[in-house]
A and B are shown apart, each in its own frame.
Chain A
């Protein structure tokens, strides 16, 4: 009996070892996911959208460059006549969530702008519902606003485009202005869609920065926050396309932005061999990745980030080869201004595209100087420098 179990155990260990080698063929074929999926096979890749956003990266924006949050691309306008209000209005804001630093920074800017509009007598109040990253909650929030919100206009920052569409259409049926910003919805009933150029443009900016400095066959480690979230997927799809075209190898990890996971992934990749660049789709991921190289006693290669101060400071302090992709944070302010401009009788663009300017090493010092007092989690494209309460509201970062 005893001998039998020990033999069984050894057989089991053998099976286990076999199971391990069963996953090895990918590696033998030259590195698992490095060779498998390409941008063309990525369901999130859309060539037409890629070309559109690529073209807009170099486009000329209308309006005062000192106020990028009011700039737009020439196109169809919405006539304000139907929406003008002769009294302070009530804004109803259905927010997807405040669950990342980008959204928190934008939310602060939006509230500072709100105070100005309230003092001007344009806005009476803003009622906000936070869906906490849930489609169900957001649909309920919008329906609540439609049925008993007593709203003069809606601002919706959708959690996921398709799930909220029906609720957004119900908001449109009220005849009140509906402003959607950040992520899109799958309906064209909305009065205006406010967004910066887009995730693909972000992915092209970052992808080109990396690809321009690498040779074919060089290796990129891609740290992805989440699968299936359009903001992140469009960034990755565009960069993936650039890497494919440049013949650059890549391996991707889904980290959930958990710094422990990021460090493990990067440390394992360091052990595997030389890394020529680290690509991240979220600025929060950059610093743990940089630390992984430092802890391993290896030179830090190209690591991109965003306009978050933690990354920009790490870039400056360590003199990295860096690049800050930007998804313009000031669109939170634009969304509120879009609605109130309609109330005030000013026409606004139907598709309101605000500029999206990445941070390069040439601009780094200037950006750091303006945002010197700001906490690590601040986004420098917050666009509130000319609002009352600057810099205290963003420095103290009390989430309203």
Chain B
């Protein structure tokens, strides 16, 4: 017992905060921090290819385009940190886009009721995802795969898979236009919506809800023993992700228009964005803002590939390869940190010992 006290690895809680510079440096060394370095590097590269993007209004337009994916990543963040997946987000976007297109039509007076209906759809989808996952104990991966298929089937049934009529321009304002302001010039509504969503989400993360959600993802048993109802925490996470998908859908209808393929693949882009942002699959760990940064990293990457001029048929391969590199960069740091400190392992005389030399840890018989 006395031996452990002498171990230097145990650090006691120190109430005084370390200097800002050191905290920043330490933060940057985490996956959730390095993603910001990547983001800055990518944005610099994007602007280097196209100097006119450095103008504030052009830059904000660029961010506006990325807003839907970033919002979907925010929704996915809540589900991921609770230890589950939401694969239905893209299908939710598809359904909402088609709903808005077919129900609003040319009549602006229908906007409010249709938006309320869209919110209701999101709540139903979120509740189904959450309750089936938590109360029926179906893995979230499977539950949301099911809702994804149901929803995309409905979209296909309603449209036959072809483009539809665009809704009234009044409804498309949020995704398509913005505010004329002094100094920055043009502020797209999509950026405003993104900021609002991120602010609300950050507030939620700092609330008891957010803290307990992370705890439930890390160790549901402890969360349960601490008196919180894990099923309701996770169900609320699914509700948030369905609502985030709906907000993204409203932006996308405005930005793009009605087509059943709008939103397809967004769930995977969002999961990738979160992982690049250092959110750990399996739950319990991850920063919200870094997940948003991860989404911006992905989108700037795609933009950069457009600028660089990679051939269309070749582009997915290049995207995939670069995503793997980005993942490696961010995830590598976690593995390093999680491994037990090297100093505690007894030093070995032959560092280059091959497979034949039995390592100290594997001396007990295997396969028992």
Task: Write the residues of chain A forming the contact surface with B, with a CB cutoff of 8 angstroms.
Answer: 1-2, 4-6, 8-10, 12-13, 15-17, 19-20, 23-24, 26-27, 31-34, 36-37, 97-101, 103-104, 133, 224, 227, 251-254, 256-260, 262-265, 267-269, 271-272, 284, 287-288, 291, 295-296, 310, 375-377, 399
Residues of B within 8 Å of A256, CB to CB, are 261, 264
Cα separation A377 to B160 with both chains bound (whole Å)? 12
Residues of B within 8 Å of A4, CB to CB, are 336
Q: Contact flags (1/0) for B272-309 with A, using CB distance below 8 Å?
A: 00000000000000000000000000000011111111
Apart from the given pairs A2-B25, A295-B61, A295-B177, 15 other A-B contacts in the complex at a CB distance below 8 Å: A5-B337, A9-B28, A17-B41, A23-B305, A26-B309, A99-B161, A133-B161, A227-B312, A253-B306, A254-B312, A256-B264, A260-B68, A272-B306, A287-B166, A399-B160
Interface residues of chain A: helix, strand, loop or mixed (majority): helix
Q: Is the CB of A16 within 8 A of B329?
A: yes
Q: Is the CB of B165 within 8 A of A375?
A: yes
* CB-contact partner of A13 in B50, B58, B302, B329, under 8 A: B329
Residues of B within 8 Å of A33, CB to CB, are 309-312, 314
Residues of B within 8 Å of A264, CB to CB, are 65, 302-303, 306
Whether a CB of chain A sits under 8 angstroms from the CB of B341 is yes
Q: Is the CB of A295 within 8 A of B311?
A: no
A-B contact number at CB 8 A: 178
- Chain A residue at minimal CB-CB distance from B53: A271
Tally B residues with Cβ within 8 Å of A: 64
Residues of A within 8 Å of B53, CB to CB, are 271
Residues of A within 8 Å of B302, CB to CB, are 264
- Chain A residue at minimal CB-CB distance from B45: A20
* CB-contact partner of A295 in B176, B262, B308, under 8 A: B176
Shortest 4 CB-CB distances between A and B: which pairs?
A: A32-B309, A99-B161, A12-B329, A259-B256
Q: Is the CB of A258 within 8 A of B308?
A: no
* CB-contact partner of A98 in B160, B261, B312, under 8 A: B160
Return B68 CB to nearest CB of chain A, in Å: 8
Whether a CB of chain A sits under 8 angstroms from the CB of B131 is no
Cα separation A101 to B164 with both chains bound (whole Å)? 9
- Considering the complex, which residues of chain B in the window 323-337 have a beta carbon less than 8 Å from any beta carbon of chain A? 325-326, 328-330, 332-333, 336-337
Q: Is the CB of A12 within 8 A of B328?
A: yes
Cα separation A186 to B142 with both chains bound (whole Å)? 41
- Chain A residue at minimal CB-CB distance from B26: A2
Q: Is the CB of A23 within 8 A of B318?
A: yes
Q: Is the CB of A257 within 8 A of B326?
A: no
Q: A99-B162, A104-B160 are in contact. Are A16 and B325 (CB under 8 A)?
A: yes
Q: A17-B45, A258-B259, A259-B256 are in contact. Are A227 and B313 (CB under 8 A)?
A: yes
Q: Is the CB of B34 within 8 A of A9?
A: yes
Q: Is the CB of B329 within 8 A of A24?
A: no
Q: Is the CB of A34 within 8 A of B325?
A: no
Cα separation A7 to B304 with both chains bound (whole Å)? 26
* CB-contact partner of B161 in A100, A224, A260, A287, under 8 A: A100
- Chain B residue at minimal CB-CB distance from A294: B176
- Considering the complex, which residues of chain B in the window 152-198 have a beta carbon less than 8 Å from any beta carbon of chain A? 160-166, 176-177
Residues of A within 8 Å of B162, CB to CB, are 98-101, 103-104, 284, 377
Cα separation A251 to B61 with both chains bound (whole Å)? 23
Residues of B within 8 Å of A104, CB to CB, are 160, 162
- Chain B residue at minimal CB-CB distance from A264: B65
Cα separation A268 to B256 with both chains bound (whole Å)? 15
Q: A12-B332, A26-B310, A284-B163 are in contact. Are A259 and B262 (CB under 8 A)?
A: yes
Cα separation A320 to B258 with both chains bound (whole Å)? 22
Q: A9-B34, A20-B45, A264-B302 are in contact. Are A1 and B309 (CB under 8 A)?
A: no
Q: Contact flags (1/0) for B61-93 with A, using CB distance below 8 Å?
A: 100010010000000000000000000000000
Residues of B within 8 Å of A99, CB to CB, are 160-162
Cα separation A131 to B326 with both chains bound (whole Å)? 40
- Chain B residue at minimal CB-CB distance from A376: B165
Cα separation A24 to B68 with both chains bound (whole Å)? 28
Residues of A within 8 Å of B259, CB to CB, are 257-259, 284
29 pairs, CB–CB < 8 Å, chain A vs chain B: A2-B29, A4-B336, A5-B336, A6-B25, A8-B332, A9-B329, A9-B333, A16-B322, A17-B41, A20-B41, A26-B311, A32-B308, A32-B309, A33-B309, A37-B311, A100-B162, A103-B162, A104-B160, A254-B313, A254-B315, A259-B258, A264-B306, A265-B306, A267-B61, A284-B162, A288-B256, A291-B176, A376-B166, A399-B160
Q: Is the CB of A260 within 8 A of B252?
A: yes
Q: Is the CB of B257 within 8 A of A31?
A: no
Q: A5-B29, A99-B160 are in contact. Are A272 and B329 (CB under 8 A)?
A: no
Q: Is the CB of B309 within 8 A of A34?
A: yes
Cα separation A13 to B326 with both chains bound (whole Å)? 8
Cα separation A265 to B261 with both chains bound (whole Å)? 16
